[in-house]
Structure 1
Amino acid sequence: MNVYCGIDWAERHHDIALINEAGTLLAKRRITDDAAGYRVLLELFAEYGDTPEDPIPVAIETSHGLLAAALRTGNRRIYAVNPLSAARYRDRHGVSRKKSDPGDALVLANILRTDMHAHRPLPDDSDLARAITVLARAQQDAVWHRQQLVNQVRSLLKAFYPAALDAFMGKQHGLARPEARAVLATAPTPARAAKLSLPQFQAALRRAGRVRGIEAEARRLKELFRSDYARQPQAVEDAMGHQLATLLVQLDAACRAAVELAEAVEESFRQHPDAEILLSFPGLGVQLGARVLAEIGDDRDRFADARALKAYAGSAPITRASGRKKFVGRRFIKNDRLIAAGFLWAFAALTTSPGADAHYRRRREAGDWHAQAQRHLFNRLLGQLYHCLQTRQHFDEQHAFTSLSADLVVAA
């Protein structure tokens, strides 16, 4: 007898529903979100024929958390069903729009009973790959958070402290540079910056870790901060200085988090057997390669072919046709983290791979705008990556960009 399980996830408890192949409800239970509750769930599974060789498949609305981790042990297939998709299934059983947690668990179980073939189980990634996923996503979030804070600091400086923008925005990393943060922490207002002496500027630069050209940079900053700029009233300037000081504390923490997470990502990524293959591709460094690996995983059976991986990444176009109307455009349902890494990958590959640069230029000459050409290049690189991972080969420039036939395909 085939048995299917649906779990409605909540923060403190979970509702369980078990049904057979005819749709008959066999059991329902509410368990707590702790080790005792997980044991009750496993005992319930065993009562209805669950074995290590033939485990009961489970549908749940989340792929994260301790419950999902407990269920993923062994060969059990776990299906993470989008809550919006589950809501659409709920409408098939009634039009009253009633909703309850036990009812949602039953809906999830019925999804497996009727449409298991239309859903993909969670990938069987290794523990190392899942750890890289956690670290790479955290590092990516830290970078995004750092940039948000830099944007806030820039907007604030533009309102009362334009000299600071002229001092640091033209340099690499701009306001996120340690020197910029150290100097602005020492002088958070134009009035205080104008009073700083040359040794004070030098001390701030040394605290930031600078070892070369300290005297010349200190003289440049001193001259710049004593130049004639428009000023806010003193009371307003002091208030904005307090606001800047608090933002700098947050920015310092965000910069440290991004650096520490980057080091952790590099340490874990280099231990993975796929790291050498990923790093052999033009434009992929440690951090970007880790982000790509984090999103595609190392389960070789996760994607049926390269087209499935491209659709998952959102690099392949999608066709919408009805009657005489046909539209080919970009995908909106995709892995946003992977496509973000893909654009960075394609852009970096332009300067390191002659074939990638020629491919991009051909797409531009064919009429693609910049983002279209980048997405088309990422689409091709992703297909090559799929082949190399499946065959355990390194990237080969001569074989990767020999045929022009693929470049003539019109992409959205």
Structure 2
Amino acid sequence: MFCGIDWAEDHHDIALVTDHGSLAAKLRITDDVEGLNQLLALLAEHGDTPEEPIPVAIETSRGLLVSCLRATGRPVYAINPMAVARYRERHSVARKKSDHLDAMTLANILRTDMAAHRPLPADSDLARAVAVLARAQQDAVWDRVQAANKLRSHLREYYPALLAAFAGTREGICAPAARALLAAAPTPAQAARLTAAQLRSLLKRAGRTRGINAEAQRLKAILRADYLHQPPLVEDAMGRQALALLRQLDAACASCADLETAAVDSLDQHPDAEILTSFPGLGKLTAARVLGEIGDDRSRFADARALKAYAGSAPVTRASGKSTFVIHRRVKNQRLAAAGYSWAFSALTASPGARIHYDRRREAGDRHIAAQRNLFNRLIGCLHHCLATRQLYSEAIAFPNPTTVPDSQAA
């Protein structure tokens, strides 16, 4: 018996299909406790037992229904909606569609091609919590970048002095000093009237502890220089808009910091944290992102090649006749691939072997991105081995017999 669930916001359509493809039962349930109990009762009527649970196919991997089904210990398969659309065409060329037919299609996918799909991993609750926090922190970083870009674009139209004052800093207008200055003086006219004492007070309030006097004098000179100006009324109105955008940026910055702390704290409680952070270039926040995407279910990836394909670091070969192309993988876990790029980039200065490996790929003709991806492919393969064998990273094993050491590393 195979179960397919067509998920919706307030209700779900259920279809049970036998191993011969005939419909055994169908049901529409609500998205609440009563609906879940009806589903479990229907499965029990058709032979569902704790020893041999009926597998379930659904088009999402999230939600309360999926979480509750996973808690029962049954295999839950999250099928890509695009794949479901292709399977639907196998049974009908008229392009007809309904919730019940989609539920039957999902059940038939398990009946015919269960081996080609993977159930949701049996990750621990702690690993899933790390995933939630790490993904939320990454989303907050993207929101912060978007909010900063909006504010920067707005300031360029009427407040070039503020942009010039923090153009050379690492954080730019996201810096606490920049945000404190903009909150105190949202227009160029107000900023030009700030005294050195007021600027020192703003810098202290923003958390600066060193070089306050010199920084205050530098900001004073920049803010009082000659710039183009909007008409006074327009400038005041644009200052009000800047304050509104600043509040969004402040909220995004606070969310980033709070979620980063929570993600790192959760990672420290996980038994894999010591192994992950033993790798060069893999800080705690990046390690939390990596753990959140790969989980701690060791049966999820059969070997290192499967993990590399999931991360997008392994290339794809397309062969047809006499033509053979080897290209980078586009279908991948985008979050893990992004974390892998940061990991590989940081490893260049933390690992002599990683730097030699990168330089060797560059000399072979790879561009920077390709060489970084190849290095990430090597590192994540080592990570799979270390997690499987429960051992820490070893530079001598990961990069044996280095031929040369870069001058920066030797120094």
- Matching residue within 212, 215, 228 for 1:214: 212
| Alignment match, 1:318 | 316
Which secondary structure state, in structure 2, belongs to the residue aligned with residue 350 of structure 1?
A: helix
> Offset of 1:23 from its aligned partner?
0.7
Corresponding residue for residue 287 of structure 2 = 289
Give the aligned partner of residue 37 of structure 1.
Answer: 35
For 1:32 and 1:217, how far apart are their aligned partners in 2?
62
CA deviation after TM superposition for structure 1 residue 215, in Å: 2.3
Report the Cα offset of residue 165 of structure 1.
1.3
- Which residue in 1 is equivalent to 2:137? 139
In the alignment, what sits opposite 1:357? Answer: 355
Match of residue 378 from structure 2: 380
Separation of aligned partners in 1, 2:387 and 2:12? 38
Amino acid at match of 2:310: Y
Q: Which amino acid aligns with 2:84?
A: A
Partner of 1:410: none
- CA drift of 1:323 comes to 1.1
Whole-Å separation in 2 of the counterparts to 1:51 and 1:57: 11
Q: Distance in 1 between matches of 2:22 and 2:401?
A: 56
Q: Distance in 1 between matches of 2:248 and 2:201?
A: 22
Aligned counterpart, 1:241: 239
Shift of 1:224: 1.0
Could you tell me which of 333, 336, 340 is aligned with 1:342?
340
| Structure 1 residue 232 displacement after superposition | 2.3
Q: Please give the alpha-carbon distance, in whole angstroms, between the structure 1 residues aligned to 2:152 and 2:378.
A: 37
Q: CA deviation at 1:195?
A: 1.1
Distance between the aligned counterparts of 2:124 and 2:133, measured in 1? 14
Aligned residues: 403
Cα-to-partner distance string for 1:269-306 (whole Å, 9 max, x where unaligned):
00000000000000001100000000000000001110
Q: CA deviation at 1:404?
A: 7.5
Give the deviation of 1:250 after TM superposition: 0.3
Does the Cα contact within 8 Å between 1:163 and 1:224 map onto a contact in 2?
A: yes
Whether the 8 Å contact between 2:353 and 2:402 is mirrored in structure 1 is no
SS of alignment partner, residue 15 of structure 2: strand
Q: CA deviation at 1:346?
A: 0.4
Please give the alpha-carbon distance, in whole angstroms, between the structure 1 residues aligned to 2:324 and 2:234.
Answer: 58
Report matched runs for 1:5-404 at 5 Å.
5-402=3-400
Supply the RMSD in Å over aligned alpha carbons.
1.2
Letter in 2 for 1:251: L
Q: Secondary structure of the equivalent of 1:91?
A: helix
Do 1:86 and 1:107's aligned partners in 2 also have CA atoms closer than 8 Å?
Answer: yes
Q: What is the distance in 2 between the residues matched to 1:384 and 1:80?
A: 28
CA contact (8 A) 1:14 1:31 kept: yes
* Shift in CA distance, 404/202, structure 1 to aligned 2, threshold 3 Å: closer
Q: Deviations over 1:136-164 (max 9, x none)?
A: 00001101111111122222222221111
The alignment partner of 2:349 has SS state of coil
| SS class of match (1:273) | coil
1:24-54 deviation line (CA, Å, top 9, x unaligned): 1110000000011101111111111111111
Q: Is the 8 A contact 2:69 2:76 kept in 1?
A: yes
Q: Partners in 2 of 1:404 and 1:82 — Cα distance?
A: 43
Uncovered stretches (5+) of structure 1, i.e. residues with no partner? 406-412
Q: Compute the TM-score of the two structures, normalised by the length of structure 2.
A: 0.96
Whether contact under 8 Å (1:53, 1:75) holds in the other structure is no
Query: Partners in 1 of 2:167 and 2:242 — Cα distance?
Result: 16
CA deviations on 1:209-256 (whole Å, 9 max, x unpaired) are 223322222221111100112222323322221221111100000000
Secondary structure in 2 aligned to 1:385?
A: helix
Q: Which amino acid aligns with 1:83?
A: P
Partner Cα separation in structure 2 for residue 381 and residue 209 of structure 1: 38
TM-score by length of 1: 0.96
- Give me the whole-angstrom Cα distance separating, in 1, the residues matched to 2:236 and 2:376: 49
- Residue 54 of structure 1 aligns to a residue whose secondary structure is coil
| Range with bigger deviation, 128-137 or 190-199 | 190-199
- Tell whether the 8 Å contact from 2:356 to 2:402 is kept in structure 1 after alignment: no
